[in-house]
Amino acid sequence: MEIERKTDSEDAPIERLKHWKEFKIKSAEEMRRSQGARCMDCGTPFCHTGHVVSGMASGCPVNNLIPEWNDLIYRGRWREALDRLHKTNNFPEFTGRVCPAPCEGSCVLGVIEPPVTIKANECAIIDRGWEEGWVTANPPKKRTGKKVAVVGSGPAGLACADQLNQAGHSVTVFEREDRIGGLLMYGIPNMKLDKEQVVQRRVNLMAEEGIEFKTGINIGQHETWTAEKLRKDFDAVVLCCGATLGRDLPIEGRDAEGIHLAMEFLTTNTRHILDTQFDKSIPALNAEGKDVVVIGGGDTGTDCVGTSLRHKCKSVTQLEIMPKPPLERAADNPWPEWPKVYKMDYGQEEAAAVQGEDPRSYLVQTKRFIKDDNGKLSGLEICEIEWSKDQNGRFVPQEKEGSARVIPAQLVLLAMGFLGPEQKIVEKFALETDARSNVKAEHEIYTTNVQGVFAAGDMRRGQSLVVWAINEGRGAARECDRFLMGITQLP
C-alpha cells in the first residue's frame, strides 16, 4: 500500500547492443528489501501453487516458498532466504534470469496493483548467495551403489541429476553438444543468461559434488554408447532430451538460401562467441547488413531479434499470425491466469530504439519465399489475415482480399515453436509415444513402457518453460529413486 513496484534497471537499449553481456543492473539492498516488503504474506498465496489454468502455468511450477523468502529479504535475513529458495529450486540463478514469472501473473497483489517483483527478488537472493560464498559443494555423505544415466543436460536433466546425486546415487550425464547445459547453454543468448559466469559455475559445483559429465556423445547414434549399453551398464536411465524438433514452414520457395530454424541461428551464435571469447567477430551464419524477418513470437523470436540487432542487421521485422494482445487483461483472461497482455520484451525494446517502433506485425501470414536468380532469398510475399470459423467450427486464418504485399528479406528465422523430441533416440529405446510424438509417460510418474527407463521435461510434456523442466527433472529423480530403493525421501 505504501511502496510502489520498482524493477531492476538495465543498460540503455542502444548501449547494450554493443555487447553480449547480461544487461540487468543489480538494485541496492535497501531497494530490494523494500520490494520484498510489498509481499502481503497472503493467507492463500497463489504465487506458489503451480497449477495449470487454461493451458498455462499459474503460479510457480516448482512451488517456490515465495511469501517466506520475500519476508526474509525484507528482514535482511538473506542466508535464510537462500536456504528456503534452495528447498524447492535447484537453479534459482537460471529461473531468476529467464523464467517468464507465472508467479507474478498470479500474485494476489496483482489483482489491484502491480505485482511483487518476485523474479528479481529470487535472482537477488541467489546472486548474493554466490557472492557471499554461501553456495558451496555438498556431496552426499554415502553412496547407494546404484548407477543412473541421465541423457540430456538441459534444465530437466541437470535438476534430475542433482536430486539423484543428493540421494547418493552415482550419476553420469550424457550430452551430445560440446558443452553442458542444453537449452541453457545454446538455446538462450548470453545477454539473457551468462554461460561462463552463471551456467558453467553451477555445472562446476555439481561436478565437485560427484556428478560425472560426458559431452559429445549422442546416445542412439554413438558407436559405443548405445541404448543397449546404457540399459546394461546403469541401474536406471532418465531421458531428458528436450523437444528440439523445430516447426518448419513448407511453402513455396522454402529451398531458398537464407532460411533457417531459429535454434540453428541462436546456437551458432552462442557457440561462436564462447569459442572466440567474445572477440566481437560474428559467425558465418549472421544477420550483418541484412533485412531480417523473424516468423513467430515468444522468447525464441525475441532472442532472434536481439541477436540480429547485435550483428548490425539492416532491418528486422517480426511476423505474428495471432492478434495483438490487449493492454490490460481481457474479460476471458481473469486472474490468476497468465496475463495475455501486450508487452515489449528486451528485443522489441532494442528494435524500437534502433528503428523507431516495435518490429512486430500482427495478423500476418507468409504466402511464399522469393528467390533471386542465384537461389538466394530476396523477399517474402505476406498477407494480412483474420481468424474465422470453418465448416467444422474451427478457427482458421483467412486472407484479407487485396492485402498481399512483398517485403525484402535476405535472412528468415523460423521461430514457430517445436513439434516434439527427435525420434532416433525414441526408436532406439523402443519407447511408446503419444499423439504429439512426445514420449508417453505420466506426469508425476515419469515411467515409460521400458522398465528402468524414465522420461521428463520437454521430451515428455512438449515445449514448455525452464521452470517446468526443473519441476519434471525433480519429479523424475524422485520416482527413479523409488524404483531403485523401494522408497524415497526426495520431494
pLDDT tens profile 88-101: 999 999 999 999 99
| pLDDT at position 9 | 93
Q: What is the mean pLDDT of residues 448-471?
A: 96
Residue 384 has pLDDT above 90, yes or no: yes
Residue 223 has pLDDT above 90, yes or no: no
pLDDT tens profile 102-117: 999 999 999 999 999 9
| pLDDT at position 43 | 85
| pLDDT at position 324 | 97
Q: What is the mean pLDDT of residues 331-352?
A: 95
Residue 1 has pLDDT above 90, yes or no: no
Q: What is the mean pLDDT of residues 187-211?
A: 97
| pLDDT at position 55 | 87
Residue 221 has pLDDT above 90, yes or no: no
The residue type of 35 is Q
In the block, residue with C-alpha cell 489491484 = 112
Give the CA-trace dihedral at 89, 122, 418, 316, to 10 degrees: -160
Instruction: Supply the DSSP string of 357-410, one letter for each residue.
Output: S--EE-SEEEEEEEE-TTSBEEEEEEEEEEEEE-TTS-EEEEEPTT--EEEE-S
| pLDDT at position 116 | 97
pLDDT tens profile 399-438: 999 999 999 999 999 999 999 999 999 999 999 999 999 9
Share above pLDDT 90 across residues of the chain, in percent, rounded to a whole number: 94
Pairing of strands 405-408, 377-389: antiparallel
Give the angle subtended at the CA of 452 by the CAs of 138 and 174, to the nearest 5°.
55
In whole angstroms, give the CA distance from residue 315 to residue 343.
Answer: 21
Q: How many residues does the chain have?
A: 491
| pLDDT at position 213 | 98
pLDDT tens profile 190-200: 999 999 999 99
The grid cell for 261 is 530454424
Beta bridge pairs of residue 315:
291
Give the angle subtended at the CA of 425 by the CAs of 424 and 431, to the nearest 5°.
105
Q: What is the mean pLDDT of residues 347-363?
A: 98
| CB 296, CB 415: distance < 8 Å | yes
pLDDT tens profile 127-172: 999 999 999 999 999 999 999 999 999 999 999 999 999 999 999 9
Q: Measured in whole angstroms, how far is the alpha carbon of residue 255 from the centre of its chain?
A: 29
Residue 295 has pLDDT above 90, yes or no: yes
Residue 280 has pLDDT above 90, yes or no: no
In whole angstroms, give the CA distance from residue 149 to residue 133.
Answer: 30
**Domain annotation for the chain: domains and CATH numbers:** 9-132 (1.10.1060.10), 147-244+419-485 (3.50.50.60), 248-416 (3.50.50.60)
| CB 418, CB 244: distance < 8 Å | yes
pTM of the model: 0.96
